[in-house]
Chain A
Amino acid sequence: MIACLLIPGFELRAALRTRPRLALVPTALAPEAGEEPLLGPVTAAAEEAGVKPGMRLGEALATCPSLALVERDPAAVEREWEEALRRLEDAGFAVQPVEHGVVVFETHGVERLYGGVQPALERALAAAGSAWDPRIGAAGRRFTALAAASVARPGQILIVAEKEEQAFLEPLPLSLLPLTAARYAELEGLGLRRLGELAQLPRGAVAERLGVEGRKAWRLAHGGRKARVRGRKPAVELAEVLVFPDAVGNELTLRRALGSLLERLLARPERAGRPFRKLALAARLVDGGSWRRAVTLRDATAEAGRLRAALGPKLAELPAPIVELRLEAVELAKHMGQQLALVEPAGEEAESRLREGLRQVRASTGTGSVCAVVEVAPWSRIPEARALVVPRDV
C-alpha cells in the first residue's frame, strides 16, 4: 500500500517555529521578493477572517487589516523538512519526498515490523511529530493516497481500500489535479467540478479537447498509474559554514568567502574523491531571515575553478548583507577516473610538500590549528576588517 503524509502549509509552519504566538493570529507567508504579490499558506485564524492562500496581498490586507506577514525562511524550511524525513527514515520508512510537506512511502516493508498497516501509519504520524498537524492517506495508488491525505483531518489516517478507490475519488474536487489555473477555468466552464464527472467522460474526447494535460488529468481521475515508490538515497552529510564577525554585503568579500568554503569542502575526507553533482548555498541574513539557492551541475566536477564559476553568480542574488554563509554538498556523483598529466604542473611538488607539512601540524595540534588568511576587504580603513583567519582542513 502507498501512503502519503501531508503537512499543509509546511513553509509557513517552519517559519513560525521561532514565533509560535503568530500561529494563533491571522498570519500569512509573505510573497517572495520580485515575484507576483500573492500570499503563501495562511493560518486557520487568517482563513476564518476570509484570507485564502494565493490571494493578492492588497486584497488580503483589505479583507483582514490585522493580517501579519511572515518572511520566507527557506533555510529553516529545508532544515525542518530534512529532520522530518530523517525521523521517518529512522522509523524504517523508505521515503520519497514530493515537495515540502508532502512525502510518499510504501508500507509493505514495515507492516510486519509494526503489526499491520494501521499501526505502521500511526508510527509514521508520531515520527513526523504532532506539532506539525500531519495527516496520512493510504491507498493502492499514489494519487488516491495523496487525495485521501488532502481530505483527512489533522492527525487522521485515511485508508482507502483498492475496491473503493474509484468511489472515493468521484466526489472530490478537481482542484486536487495538478492543472494550471487556465485549465481549471476551462473545465469549470464545461460544467465539470468533481473528479467523478471528469472520469465519466470518454478518454479520447478529453484528450482531443484538453491535450496531453487533459489525458493525464483523466488518468488521475481514475486513480492514476500503479507506480512504485522509490525511496530516496540517504543524503550525504557534507557542509561547511563560515560565520562572519560583521555583516558582509560586498560581492568580492562574499566570493572570497565562497572560495574558502569550497576549499574546505573539497578537502573533506568524507568526499572520498567523488565529484559534486549538486551543491547548495545558504546564508543567514543580517535581519534574521535566510536565503538558499541550489545549483545542479551539468557535469559532476571537483574542480575548484568550475565550482566557483557555477556558484559565484548566485551570490549576486543575496537580498541583504549576511552574517553566515553555508555551502552544502547536496549530491555527490560516483567516483570518476582522473586523467593524469603528462607533464607535472609547475610548483606541484612544493605544493604537495607544503600540504603534507600542514597535515602533520594539524595532526599533532588538533582541528582548527591550521588557518588560512582570507583577504575580505583589503581597501578598508579599519585594519581588522581587511582580512579574516579561517580554519582550514589540509
Chain B
Amino acid sequence: MVTDSGSARVGRSAGRLNAPRPALVEQRFDGTPRVVNRELVTLVREEWRVVDRWWTDEPVDRRYFEVVLESGRNVCVYRDREEGCWFTQNA
C-alpha cells in the first residue's frame, strides 16, 4: 500500500475555471444594470435566468445580462438572487 508522501504535489486541489468575480453595479428600477464597474451601460444585448441545484443546500438562482459598456466592451454580469449581489463572469 502506498501512503501519502507528504509532498506538495499530493492533495493539491483543483480550482474553478471562470469563477465569478464581484462587480459594482447600479441597477435601474426594472433590475437591469445601468452602471457596471463605474462604466455606463449603453446597451443590454441579452438577458436570461439560470435556476439550478434547487434540490441542494446551495441553490443557484441568477439573472444574467450581456451588456455593452460605454467603452465598447462586452461584459456579462449577473445578479445572484440568493445572495443579492452582482458578479461578472464569462458566460
Contact = CB atoms under 8 A, between A and B. Distances in A.
Contacts of B20: 383-384
A181 interface: no
Contact of A237 (B5, B11, B15): B5
B20 to A, nearest CB: 6
B18 A384 contact: yes
Interface string B42-71: 000000001011000000100000000000
Contact of B14 (A81, A237, A245, A330): A245
B37 interface: no
B16 A82 contact: no
Contacts of A79: 3-4
Contact of A236 (B2, B18, B89): B2
Contacts of B4: 79, 237, 239
A387 B1 contact: no
A244 B14 CA distance: 6
A309 B50 CA distance: 36
Nearest to A79: B3
A75 B18 CA distance: 33
Interface stretch (A206-214, A351-359, A367-375): A367-375
Interface in A258-274: 264, 268
A236 B3 CA distance: 8
Interface string A267-287: 010000000000010000000
A11 to B, nearest CB: 15
B91 A241 contact: no
A328 interface: yes
Nearest to B62: A382
Contacts of A238: 2, 5
Contact of A243 (B2, B3, B11): B11
Contact of B1 (A330, A374, A384, A393): A330
Interface string B15-39: 1111110000000000000000000
